[in-house]
Amino acid sequence: MSQAQLMDGAGLARRILDDTARRAARLKVRTGVAPCLATVLVGEDPASVTYVRMKRNRSGKAGIESRHLALPAGITTAELVAELTTLSDDPAVHGILLQHPMAPHIDERAAFEAIAPAKDVDGVTLSSYAAMSFGLPGFVSCTPGGIMRLLDAYDVDPAGKRAVVVGRSAILGRPVGMLLLGRDATVTYCHSRTTALPSVVREADIVVAAVGRPRLIRGEDIKPGAVVIDAGYNAGNVGDVDFDTAVTRAGLITPVPGGVGPMTIAVLLEQTVTSAERALGVRARP
Ligand code: NAP
């Protein structure tokens, strides 16, 4: 039985982070200023606290300063918008990450829109989304951007390929479909109302699973030789794809963990350094 080649997201993320650290160091030498990522956390949801801590630790290792704003769970949308506006106006801050999801009383869209697009290194504003959808310059959503980097690293050209994206969330499914469309794939979105999901998946040259349902995509539905990107991350380190059966049919496949997961922070920090380089007028490459 054939075995797919594994797409090593952990290794690629390390290389991106090494390059990001080199660029951050070069920027500091040239301008005396280190890139700075502001992380904003509302409340104390344990998972969000952990995610923000991880992002700050990684920032430090890459030579990116982080400024952390821990805001009370009861903060109003107007107060949060004011905090984000202050960060947007602060020239010492190059990137802003507003950890989400937030409490239901917060108008999440209003909060995101208070982030200046030039500092939207997490790609959450409408401006960033529109730019990404139209192929214009701007910051991409980090996990979708990471998925595209993985495809590029393994020489997968989406042009002309049939791509099936399972999931349509604002941070993952929808934007990755737009990025694939921008690279000339023929894109089909599937979601909870899709009927006969397996028959759609069977036509895919590239499958992106972005659902959050363990092993929803079965190996028997993978077209032989297809590229399988599993963005799902479920309890017990299980993806949205049934890896053991899919690996015998796919040409390339991301493992869980170690595939898509590590790419998100790598793209976030890379975009933070890019933002700082632009703000300080330093070209990305010498
Ligand atoms: P989400 O907001 O819950 O969206 C899930 C999507 O899956 C929705 O569009 C939903 O359809 C669709 N869906 C649900 N059940 C389905 C079914 N039976 N068949 C087909 N589609 C179905 O989740 P998310 O934030 O996009 O995250 C998805 C997964 O990716 C999660 O496991 C999450 O942990 C993981 N993730 C990983 C990273 C990373 O690796 N760095 C980053 C983000 C997310 P409707 O729109 O119709 O409801």
Write the CATH number for 86: 3.40.50.10860
Tell me whether residue 76 is in a domain: yes
* Active site annotation includes 161: no
Q: State the distance from the centre of ligand 1 to the C-alpha of 201, rounded, in angstroms.
A: 16
Tell me whether residue 154 is in a domain: yes
Position 1 scores a pLDDT of: 73
Stated pTM of the model: 0.97
Contact 137, 274 (CB under 8 A): no
Tell me whether residue 56 is in a domain: yes
Tell me whether residue 134 is in a domain: no
- Whole domain around residue 48: which residue ranges? 33-121
Do 159 and 244 lie in one domain? The reply is yes
Q: How far apart are CA 202 and CA 164, in angstroms?
A: 9
Do 166 and 98 lie in one domain? The reply is no
- Per residue in 179-189, pLDDT (tens digit) is 999 999 999 99
- Per residue in 97-143, pLDDT (tens digit) is 999 999 999 999 999 999 999 999 999 999 999 999 999 999 999 99
Tell me whether residue 107 is in a domain: yes
Do 100 and 172 lie in one domain? The reply is no
* Active site annotation includes 122: yes
Instruction: Pick the catalytic residue from 8, 119, 120, 122.
Output: 122
Stretches where the chain sits below pLDDT 70 are 284-286
Q: Which of 48, 189, 192, 237 to mutate to test the pocket of ligand 1 (most atoms within 8 A of CB)?
A: 192
Do 180 and 87 lie in one domain? The reply is no
160 in the Ramachandran plot: left (φ > 0), alpha (ψ -120 to 50) or beta?
Answer: left
Tell me whether residue 281 is in a domain: no
Tell me whether residue 236 is in a domain: yes
Q: State the distance from the centre of ligand 1 to the C-alpha of 164, rounded, in angstroms.
A: 14
Q: What is the mean pLDDT of the chain?
A: 97
Position 284 scores a pLDDT of: 65
- CA-nearest residue for atom 17, ligand 1, is 192
Do 64 and 146 lie in one domain? The reply is no
Do 256 and 156 lie in one domain? The reply is yes
* Active site annotation includes 240: no
Per the structure, the count of domains in the chain is 2
Residues within 6 Å of ligand 1 by CB: 143, 166-169, 171-173, 190-194, 197, 210-213, 216, 231-234, 260-261, 264
Nearest to 89 by CA among 141, 38, 147: 38
Q: Which of 150, 200, 211 to mutate to test the pocket of ligand 1 (most atoms within 8 A of CB)?
A: 211
Do 182 and 225 lie in one domain? The reply is yes
Do 189 and 243 lie in one domain? The reply is yes
Write the CATH number for 246: 3.40.50.720
Tell me whether residue 255 is in a domain: yes
